[in-house]
Amino acid sequence: MALILAIETATEVCSAGLALNGLCLAESSIDSGNSHASMLHVLVDKILKETGKTTKDLDAIAISKGPGSYTGLRVGTSTAKGFCYALNIPLIAINTLKSLSNLALVQTELPENTLLVPMIDARRLEVYTAVYNQRLETIQKTHALVLDSDAFSNLTENNPFAYFGNGSDKAKQFLTQKGAIHIPNIILNASGLCMLAEEKFQQNEFEDLVSFEPLYLKDFVGTTPKKRF
C-alpha cells in the first residue's frame, strides 16, 4: 500500500490530493488562474493536516505531466521534483488527458462501446486531445487539434464518443454529428490521478528526476507587457 501525493496543475485549476492504495483520502483545489505557484504548497499542507500525515510518510509524488498550461506544468513539475529530491522518493507522471478521462468514467455512466475524447483548451479553436476506450487504452495518441466540422468524423462510423474537459464547450458547434455526446462539468483535479498513480507505483514505472520534462506539445509563447506611461 502506497501513500502518494498527487499534484494537478495542468489547467486553471490547482489541486493536491493524498491517496492510499489508489483511494483518495483528501483533495483540495482552487480555481484562480495564475495562483499555482503561491497556492500549491498551501493546498498540500492543508490535505496533510486533514489526514494527520506528514511529508515523511509519503512513498511517491504523482503529477499530471501534460499537455496543458506551460506555466502550470512547470510549477507542478518543479514542486514535485523538490519533494522527491528532499524525501528520496520516486516521481510518477500521468498523462493529463488520461487523468481527465478517468474522472469522466467515475462521474458518468456511458454505454459500453462509447469512446472517451478528453479536451484541454489550447486557445483559439485548438484543443489538446486524445482518444481512449473505457479501459483507458489509447486509441489515438495525444495531439493538438484545430476544431472544425470534420474533427473526429472517423469515430462515429462504429462508435459513439463522449467529449469533455475545459476545451469541450467550444467544440460543441462543430461536433453535431450523431454519436457525439458532450459531458459538461468534468473538471480536472488531483483525485483523477490517484488510481492511475497507484498502478504505476505497483509496476515501478517511475520517472528520471534529472531528465523528466512535462509534455508541452507546444513551445511557450510569451506576451509583451504593455508600455507604462
The pLDDT tens digits for 142-171 are 999 999 988 888 787 678 999 999 999 999
Question: Hey, what amino acid is at 193?
Answer: L
**Of 94, 102, 96, nearest to 136 (Cα)?**
102
C-alpha to C-alpha distances, 214 to 62, 95, 146, 181, nearest whole angstrom = 12, 9, 22, 30
**pLDDT band with cut points at 50, 70 and 90 for residue 228:** very low
Q: Which domains does the chain have, with CATH numbers?
A: 3-95+188-202 (3.30.420.40), 109-182 (3.30.420.40)
Sheet holding 138-146, edge to edge: 138-146, 126-132, 115-121, 161-164, 180-182
Residues sharing a CB contact under 8 Å with residue 112, sequence separation 6 or more, in sequence order: 134
pLDDT at 218: 72
Task: Report the predicted TM-score, pTM, of the whole model to 2 decimal places.
Answer: 0.92
With contact defined as beta carbons under 8 Å apart, do 167 and 120 qualify? yes
pLDDT at 177: 81
pLDDT at 151: 86
Residue 158: helix, strand or coil by DSSP? coil
Q: Is the pLDDT of residue 13 over 60?
A: yes
The pLDDT tens digits for 59-77 are 999 999 999 999 999 999 9
